Structure 1
Amino acid sequence: MSPSPTEFAPLALLREHWGHEKFRPGQEDIINSVLNGHDTLALLPTGGGKSICFQVPALARPGICIVVSPLIALMKDQVDNLRRRGLKAEAIYAGMSHQEIDHALDNCVYGRNVKFLYVSPERLLTELFQVRVAKMHVGLLAVDEAHCLSQWGYDFRPPYLRIAELREKLPPGTPVIALTATATAQVQADIVEKLRFRPGFGVFRQSFARPRLSYSVLQTEDKLRRLLEVLRGVGPDKTGIVYARTRRQTEDTATFLQQHRFSAAAYHAGLPAEKRTKVQQDWIQDRTRLIVATNAFGMGIDKPTVRLVLHLDAPDTLEAYYQEAGRAGRDGLNAFAVLLAGPNDSDELRRRTNQSFPPLDTVKRVYQALANYSQTAVGGGELAAFEFDMQQFAETYRIKAVDAHNSLKILQREGFVQLNEAVNQPARVHLILSHQDLYAFQVANAQHDLLIKALLRLHGGELFSDFQTISENALATHLRRSVVEVRQQLRYLHTAGILHYQPRQESPQALFTTPRYDASKLPLDQVKMTAARDLARAKTQAVAQYLSGTRCRQILLLTYFDEADPARCGICDICLAEKKAAQAAPAPSLREPILTQVRQGALAPRELLAAFAPKDATAVTATVRELVDRGELAYAADGRLVMGV
């Protein structure tokens, strides 16, 4: 029986699954474009509700929606949110076992009402994925963070270039929707070309203007003192994010704020996973007001009541700054984006940009060291993720940390390796025997009976149908054993083919995205690398111009994103300073009329005011004061205004 026309109506789906009464501006037009089968490019500002633009049409169309996303944390967050709404979703990314990937793909092929499959770009063209996707009924392809397609963007990811190949394997006419919050006109054109948009495609762009977000750049030689001033001005009870460049800086700044009686905590990728989770949850639930973080924080977190985003140092690009600053005021109320600028910050930005392109022999040396670190032989290792500690890596191979970091970034940009942020991935278990066979195993292996019973008691029969998150600590407490013993026993049961066990992961990971090369023969493209360096320098110069700019901050940002005829915001530091100056200065148009009146005879101030329109009273008073100060007018002994001497 086919669904009724209203069953899959976009607004009805929005209300049923998200509880919103209406779409945000622009969302409905984007959704209708997708539902009409058009390839669609959606450019929405940070916090503009991009995910709704592909999730709603995916539910309205038959088949599964494949979502390409570059960030594991963002994927996990969206999958968890969909599942909480009763919508079935799967995800495939680095760090998952072969069995988990196989099981997730089976769920997508053989039903179980899975509507969303999130996949990292490097997984798209693996043989395992290619075989399974051909069996799926795909109704929509969504490309999130689509600026990663463009070499002119700020976060180019070479695996994204292969998404167009996937289109050829999908049913004819399957539409693609590409979404991003930051794209210049050049990047937009690149997205359309690289995804091979079909004729009749739609481009939907909202203004990147945030009418109630006040941008400011505050020049200072003492950033911590100025930070306190800003926080006291905004209000100590307001929620905010303070971005710092280094892990050490986040911790030192959070301690400084605590010493001055602010509710603050540090967040960075080097913290243990449980600590990161607690810090984040305390801030989301307003138990902590300020979070001092590196840029590892914020992506995928929807906290609408953030009143302040303050940067202690400028990000490397205006794209990054716009995204991070845009986490303030998503509820549409007044908010502040403040950037503290020291006297040498622009020079430091340029130095870091030049430093981020080490010599080719350094890049090749780091590639070889990564192969040694992961024990990967030439020709092997493709897409095999391994735990990666940058500091340990640099120390082990006696490479400067800055050279290791920058070389790995180049290798990632050139498509040879991938670095994944630390993601708290709890342990997972899937029982692969039938109930009867498992019972027979328990009878024959009494030493494992208690653990299996504890698994079923704590996590239920769903363990037979899918991977389930388990708590190794809870199992250890229940069995009165150590966590180490529980893990050893789970590994044995995994090896014995009783269950699939994926241990807990909380460390950053790296992987080779191609079979490993002999480092001396690594095919680095010098022309592309030179172009990337020149582009990075241009982006650095745009940040420097923003720091020193004398035009409305919103106009500077919107002009960078090629928005035509952007309007003045009226609330940034530049606009407010101009307003203040205009109010303080004499109005040129009133000077001569006032002097003409007084030349005709001495006048009491009220008599002078009577000669002008009531709306000009404030300006007349200010102009008279200025003229008296300059000696062009004077007060006689009787209080009347006369010409100055």
Structure 2
Amino acid sequence: MSTELSPLTILQEHWGHQAFRPGQEEIINSVLNGKDTLALLPTGGGKSICFQVPALARPGICIVVSPLIALMKDQVENLRKRGLRAEAIYAGMSHQEIDHALDNCVYGRNVKFLYVSPERLLTELFQVRVRKMNVGLLAVDEAHCLSQWGYDFRPPYLRIAELRTLLPESIPVIALTATATAQVAADIVEKLEFRPGFGVFRQSFARPKLSYSVLHTEDKMRRLLEVLRGVGPNKTGIVYARTRRQTEDTAAFLQQHKFPAAAYHAGLAPERRTKVQQDWIEDRTRVIVATNAFGMGIDKPDVRLVAHLDAPDTLEAYYQEAGRAGRDGQYAFAVVLAGPSDADEARRRTTQAFPPLDTVRRVYQALANYSRTAVGGGELAAFDFDIQQFAETYRIRAVDAHNSLRILAREGFIQVNEAVNTPARVHLIMGHQDLYAFQVANAQHDQLIKALLRLHGGELFVGFQAISENSLATHLRRSVTEVRQQLRYLHTAGILHYQARQESPQAMFITQRYDSAKLPLDEPRLKAARELAQHKTSAVIHYVAGTRCRQQLLLEYFDEANPARCGVCDVCLAAKKAEKAATDAAAWRPRLLELLKDAPQTPKELLAQFAPQEATAATAALRELVDLGELNYAADGRLRVN
């Protein structure tokens, strides 16, 4: 370790925690001892601490490979709030922004973290710069994406091992995931080319205070209301829905029944999404009804309920989403609402998820036409993408478009990102003196430049800074359109770099664009992926229909040996209730036989002799005595001892 500060001191200084969570310190020490390390931690187990703390304890920068732009941006923002310098490179950034971020990592002082999406790792620009960086650690987040046996395989992840060849051999890698079977864990170790002596740290995926339940119902909305009322009116919850329309309809239904609820999905305007999320985080909204895009990177510890209107496609996804409940260590509930036709619908979705290869090629060609990308071009160039408009324009069924794009992404040809609200960014590239001379000679631009400096300071000269075009417009008493036009002019004139605000979903070709007829789709791999998807669907159906402890079923799926019953899921609670009823019935039998010894009585006459709170147990005991043949009914309907 090359710092005088211990890992615990770093944790206390930057995060304010007085102690590590179970398992974290052992993982951190493995990394600090220079070992390649695989950390398998449950959702909410504090994975990021396991690479952030050793990164601060080692010299040099930590490169973090992460597949999700929203998660990447959240972590960078959180690190900066703690006074730690971090950069990120992802789809949608301009060449100038990427260039500047990489320069900061090579030449800038105190940059400790560089977050990068996997498809950016082996671009020529990145390879040239990474050789110049003082890299101290390579971290691979969501490492299950490396494995074709996982639930979210991403081919660009397979090239991370190539990045290791550009770094000194002494640089360790830490891979982290919250969802990995034994087969996936072995695949991660192989694909990242772990060196001998590596460490694997696995914590149980058990969540002792998270009660898993499956509620079978023909009226999911009514049952959802019952669940929310049972948890409590002022408790925080997430309700996951499969479609945007379903989120809107469910939120409206809950509002009609006096629950403070709001819908969240990628189709909302960025300002609306931000407000909905913030209102929920700050408890102004209690229930957020969302598609599965919601929740990544959001650490709200007091979520008491996560309810699914439909079971997710995989148990890995379910474990992650359900695990957003009860991160404060208090009792919480994870509920699946299961309808009579859900299993058939799940199988149908799995079949639809793998359209014919001719359809996939047709969608690839349509995407090339949509983006006006010629054969051989377009690599890593992002463009705005509206899937509904795309499907309508090229007369492709929406379900075929969606599933074909997922296959193309899985095969590593394209990437499609949900809308991520990225504010406008500005970097002043002209020096102070030259800028002053420009302002004097161009009075029409002087006010805007002064406003930029007044609102955002000298950091604009250092690098790209997020700006609010609305605040500038208000400050200058102009329209936002006028401000944007002027910023574009200053960009063209070489006074500043201006990256406009992005609000739309984006897509890009990860490779150079192929002739669609020659697109090298790997048919054997796609066949294996289809069979794996069918297996995972069957596992979900088995979980929903299961009559064993829910947590046991989940832990066995993740290859935990001999997991104990949780005692708090719906199956365990029903078993406890049945055991108690049997015990109670056994205790009541002698008294009932004694009461009937002298004369037969009707059940009503008999039960009238018990207090109201005793009636249920006495009734159960009565039925049991009849079933055992110790009592029988006389012709007049009265019970008598046999």
TM-based fold match above 0.5: yes
The change in CA–CA distance for 1:336 and 1:620 in structure 2 (over 3 A counts) is closer
Task: For residue 303 of structure 2, give the secondary structure of its aligned residue in structure 1.
Answer: coil
Residue in structure 2 matched with residue 605 of structure 1 by the alignment: none
What pairs with 1:488-507 in structure 2 (closer than 5 Å)?
A: 488-507=485-504
What pairs with 1:588-603 in structure 2 (closer than 5 Å)?
A: none
Task: For residue 567 of structure 1, give the secondary structure of its aligned residue in structure 2.
Answer: coil
Q: Find out whether 1:296 has 2:278 as its counterpart.
A: no
Question: Per-residue deviation at 1:601?
Answer: 13
Residue in structure 1 matched with residue 263 of structure 2 by the alignment: 266
The change in CA–CA distance for 1:584 and 1:479 in structure 2 (over 3 A counts) is same
For 1:88, which of 72, 85, 90 is the aligned residue?
85
Q: AA paired with 2:121? A: L
Which whole-Å CA distance do the structure 2 matches of 1:213 and 1:399 have between them? 43
What pairs with 1:548-587 in structure 2 (closer than 5 Å)?
A: 548-585=545-582
The change in CA–CA distance for 1:57 and 1:622 in structure 2 (over 3 A counts) is farther
The change in CA–CA distance for 1:453 and 1:181 in structure 2 (over 3 A counts) is same
Range with bigger deviation, 376-385 or 488-497 = 488-497
The change in CA–CA distance for 1:470 and 1:217 in structure 2 (over 3 A counts) is same
Q: Find out whether 1:197 has 2:188 as its counterpart.
A: no
Residue in structure 1 matched with residue 237 of structure 2 by the alignment: 240
Residue in structure 2 matched with residue 610 of structure 1 by the alignment: none
Residues 590, 620 of structure 1: 8 Å contact kept: no
Residue in structure 2 matched with residue 479 of structure 1 by the alignment: 476
Residues 43, 183 of structure 1: 8 Å contact kept: yes
Q: Find out whether 1:345 has 2:342 as its counterpart.
A: yes
Q: Find out whether 1:518 has 2:515 as its counterpart.
A: yes
Task: For residue 324 of structure 1, give the secondary structure of its aligned residue in structure 2.
Answer: helix
The change in CA–CA distance for 1:634 and 1:408 in structure 2 (over 3 A counts) is closer
Q: CA RMSD in A?
A: 2.5
The change in CA–CA distance for 1:588 and 1:185 in structure 2 (over 3 A counts) is farther
What pairs with 1:151-170 in structure 2 (closer than 5 Å)?
A: 151-170=148-167
For 1:20, which of 10, 17, 20 is the aligned residue?
17
What pairs with 1:395-434 in structure 2 (closer than 5 Å)?
A: 395-434=392-431
Task: For residue 307 of structure 1, give the secondary structure of its aligned residue in structure 2.
Answer: strand
Which whole-Å CA distance do the structure 1 matches of 2:173 and 2:387 have between them? 37
Question: Per-residue deviation at 1:7?
Answer: 3.0
Q: Deviations over 1:587-607 (max 9, x none)?
A: 899999999999x999xxxxx
Residues 440, 446 of structure 2: 8 Å contact kept: yes
Q: AA paired with 2:305? A: L
Residue in structure 2 matched with residue 277 of structure 1 by the alignment: 274
Task: For residue 210 of structure 1, give the secondary structure of its aligned residue in structure 2.
Answer: coil
Which whole-Å CA distance do the structure 2 matches of 1:631 and 1:173 have between them? 74
Residues 586, 622 of structure 1: 8 Å contact kept: no
Q: AA paired with 1:533? A: R
Residue in structure 2 matched with residue 315 of structure 1 by the alignment: 312
For 1:117, which of 98, 110, 114 is the aligned residue?
114
Question: Per-residue deviation at 1:644?
Answer: 2.3
Question: Per-residue deviation at 1:619?
Answer: 14
Residue in structure 1 matched with residue 541 of structure 2 by the alignment: 544
Which whole-Å CA distance do the structure 2 matches of 1:563 and 1:175 have between them? 27
Identity %: 80
Q: AA paired with 1:283? A: W
Residue in structure 1 matched with residue 73 of structure 2 by the alignment: 76
Which whole-Å CA distance do the structure 1 matches of 2:232 and 2:282 have between them? 18
Task: For residue 137 of structure 2, give the secondary structure of its aligned residue in structure 1.
Answer: strand
Question: Per-residue deviation at 1:181?
Answer: 0.2
The change in CA–CA distance for 1:5 and 1:59 in structure 2 (over 3 A counts) is closer
Residues 86, 112 of structure 2: 8 Å contact kept: yes
Question: Per-residue deviation at 1:489?
Answer: 1.0
Residues 233, 259 of structure 2: 8 Å contact kept: yes
Which whole-Å CA distance do the structure 2 matches of 1:344 and 1:630 have between them? 36
Range with bigger deviation, 441-450 or 141-150 = 441-450
Task: For residue 62 of structure 1, give the secondary structure of its aligned residue in structure 2.
Answer: coil
Residue in structure 2 matched with residue 256 of structure 1 by the alignment: 253
Q: Find out whether 1:209 has 2:206 as its counterpart.
A: yes
Which whole-Å CA distance do the structure 1 matches of 2:485 and 2:543 have between them? 56
Residue in structure 2 matched with residue 606 of structure 1 by the alignment: none
Which whole-Å CA distance do the structure 2 matches of 1:118 and 1:364 have between them? 33
Task: For residue 152 of structure 1, give the secondary structure of its aligned residue in structure 2.
Answer: coil
Question: Per-residue deviation at 1:442?
Answer: 1.3
Which whole-Å CA distance do the structure 2 matches of 1:499 and 1:508 have between them? 26
Which whole-Å CA distance do the structure 1 matches of 2:450 and 2:22 have between them? 53
Residue in structure 2 matched with residue 57 of structure 1 by the alignment: 54
Which whole-Å CA distance do the structure 1 matches of 2:99 and 2:444 have between them? 30
Which whole-Å CA distance do the structure 1 matches of 2:350 and 2:419 have between them? 25
Residues 585, 621 of structure 2: 8 Å contact kept: no
Which whole-Å CA distance do the structure 2 matches of 1:627 and 1:297 have between them? 50
Question: Per-residue deviation at 1:631?
Answer: 7.3
Residues 417, 507 of structure 2: 8 Å contact kept: yes
Residue in structure 1 matched with residue 608 of structure 2 by the alignment: none
Q: Deviations over 1:20-63 (max 9, x none)?
A: 00000110000000000000000111110000000000000011
Q: AA paired with 2:282? A: Q
Task: For residue 568 of structure 1, give the secondary structure of its aligned residue in structure 2.
Answer: coil
Residue in structure 2 matched with residue 533 of structure 1 by the alignment: 530
Q: AA paired with 1:301? A: I
Q: Deviations over 1:454-504 (max 9, x none)?
A: 111111111111111111111111222111111111111111111000000
Q: AA paired with 1:383? A: L
Question: Per-residue deviation at 1:111?
Answer: 2.9
Residue in structure 2 matched with residue 639 of structure 1 by the alignment: none
The change in CA–CA distance for 1:593 and 1:562 in structure 2 (over 3 A counts) is farther
Question: Per-residue deviation at 1:219?
Answer: 0.3
Residue in structure 2 matched with residue 325 of structure 1 by the alignment: 322
Q: AA paired with 1:468? A: Q
For 2:35, which of 30, 33, 38 is the aligned residue?
38
The change in CA–CA distance for 1:510 and 1:6 in structure 2 (over 3 A counts) is closer
Residue in structure 1 matched with residue 603 of structure 2 by the alignment: none
Residues 591, 623 of structure 1: 8 Å contact kept: no
Residue in structure 2 matched with residue 465 of structure 1 by the alignment: 462
Task: For residue 585 of structure 1, give the secondary structure of its aligned residue in structure 2.
Answer: helix
Aligned length: 622
Question: Per-residue deviation at 1:8?
Answer: 2.2
Residue in structure 1 matched with residue 130 of structure 2 by the alignment: 133
Task: For residue 327 of structure 2, give the secondary structure of its aligned residue in structure 1.
Answer: coil
The change in CA–CA distance for 1:504 and 1:628 in structure 2 (over 3 A counts) is same
Residue in structure 1 matched with residue 375 of structure 2 by the alignment: 378
Residues 6, 12 of structure 1: 8 Å contact kept: no
Which whole-Å CA distance do the structure 2 matches of 1:406 and 1:391 have between them? 13
Structure 2: tracts of 5 or more residues without a match: 600-613, 633-638
The change in CA–CA distance for 1:631 and 1:44 in structure 2 (over 3 A counts) is closer
Q: AA paired with 2:435? A: L
Question: Per-residue deviation at 1:122?
Answer: 0.3
The change in CA–CA distance for 1:579 and 1:133 in structure 2 (over 3 A counts) is same
Residues 585, 617 of structure 2: 8 Å contact kept: no
Q: Deviations over 1:610-630 (max 9, x none)?
A: xxxxxxx99998996555545
Residues 624, 633 of structure 1: 8 Å contact kept: no
Which whole-Å CA distance do the structure 2 matches of 1:393 and 1:623 have between them? 62
Residues 8, 59 of structure 1: 8 Å contact kept: no
Range with bigger deviation, 305-314 or 480-489 = 480-489
Residue in structure 2 matched with residue 146 of structure 1 by the alignment: 143
Residues 631, 644 of structure 1: 8 Å contact kept: no
Residues 239, 290 of structure 1: 8 Å contact kept: yes
Task: For residue 142 of structure 1, give the secondary structure of its aligned residue in structure 2.
Answer: strand
